[in-house]
Amino acid sequence: MTYARITGSGSYLPEKILTNRELEGLLDTTEDWIYTRSGIRERHIAAENEFTCDLAEKAARAALERAGRTPAEVDLVVVATTTPDQVFPSTACLLQNRLGIQGCPAFDVQAVCAGFIYALDVVYRYIRTGGSKCALVVGAETFSRILNWEDRSTCVLFGDGAGAMIVEEATQPGILSSHLHADGSFKDLLCVPIGVSTAHQEMLAGKAYTEMQGKEVFRWAVTALGDAVIEVLEANGVDRGEIDWLVPHQANIRIIQAIARRLDLSMDNVVVTIDRHGNTSAASVPLAFDEAVRDGRIKPGQKIIFEAFGGGFTWGSMLIQT
């Protein structure tokens, strides 16, 4: 049996940090409101000439180095992003070219904040069925570009960044199972209401930015993610007490705390980056994972749950053995 294992991770955050205090000067908001409602103190913002593929490349090179692999050994490139550099080619093709490799499949996955879980699921299934031996999977976003910086109810919540993993075929399990869901009937609760096909009519109406009905999104995220973490435990016959780490999507500290409670997990066993990163959408799970691997909290042989929730709605959970 072929298994899929994460053999290296990397991440990158743009240099510029935007604090809540700085936002106080730009919007009718306070440092305290943002922190108490969301858990965010600051976020990173890409420079004017810095794009999603730039962030993705830095994270990808760091993951390759960690895995001890060269770009030439990669046989599949999957990038999760909601903020691609161009309409096409995909950011995965741009990244493949940056890495100086040709020929292997490269494509983007779009599931907004659940994008990395979706992309990792694709890679997991490719490897399990013999379609890849060494895959590069990246979550990268310049979400700041699709925010209305005059809308205090959304712009304070997001940030830019990238995280990457190398996933390889192995004889021992790494990714134990993966469970994805979507429900398009919630399309209007969290969205950018125009796209390439509709832009010609509405671009001038100032609709190219993220809109969110925060309270409803919050409620659905807590319910869907709570069910998703129980689903992944039950699918593997694993007890709550066997989980070493929760690496959650970082949208709101109160959502993260609610999911930790569903797992009877102390917050000491939850990787939290939201205070420093904000919500980096598809980048948040691999950024958090990489941070905890690099600082030594995540160790070989541990059981970890990944979960994420995003626009669509899309959501999912995975059980990983490091």
First CA to last CA distance, the chain: 18
Choosing from 82, 96, 250, 252, the residue that interacts with ligand COA (CB under 6 A) is 252
Please report whether residue 309 would count as binding ligand COA according to CB under 6 A: yes
Give least dist CB 219 to ligand COA, A. Answer: 9
Burial of 198 (0-12, 13-18, 19+ CB in 10 A): exposed
Half-sphere exposure of 294 (CA within 13 A, CB side): 16
Please report whether residue 280 would count as binding ligand COA according to CB under 6 A: no
Catalytic hit among 53, 93, 113, 134: 113
Options 1-9, 13-21, 33-41, 42-50: segment touching ligand COA (CB under 6 A) = 33-41
Binding to ligand COA (CB under 6 A): which residues in 188-217?
Answer: 190, 212, 214-215, 217
Catalytic hit among 191, 249, 252, 277: 249
Choosing from 16, 37, 41, 125, the residue that interacts with ligand COA (CB under 6 A) is 37
Beta bridge partners of residue 78, listed in sequence order:
107, 137
Q: How do the residues of the chain divide into helix, strand and coil, expressed in percent and rounded to 5?
A: 40, 25, 35
Please report whether residue 251 would count as binding ligand COA according to CB under 6 A: yes
Please report whether residue 113 would count as binding ligand COA according to CB under 6 A: yes
Report the relative pairing of strands 42-45 and 76-80 from DSSP bridges.
unpaired
Please report whether residue 29 would count as binding ligand COA according to CB under 6 A: yes
Q: Residue 128: which of 181, 71, 76, 93 has the closest Cα?
A: 76
Q: What whole-number distance in Å separates Cα of residue 149 and Cα of residue 154?
A: 8
Site residues, ligand COA (CB under 6 A): 29, 33-34, 37-38, 113, 152-153, 156, 190, 212, 214-215, 217-218, 221, 251-252, 255, 279, 309-310
Just list the catalytic residues: 113, 249, 279
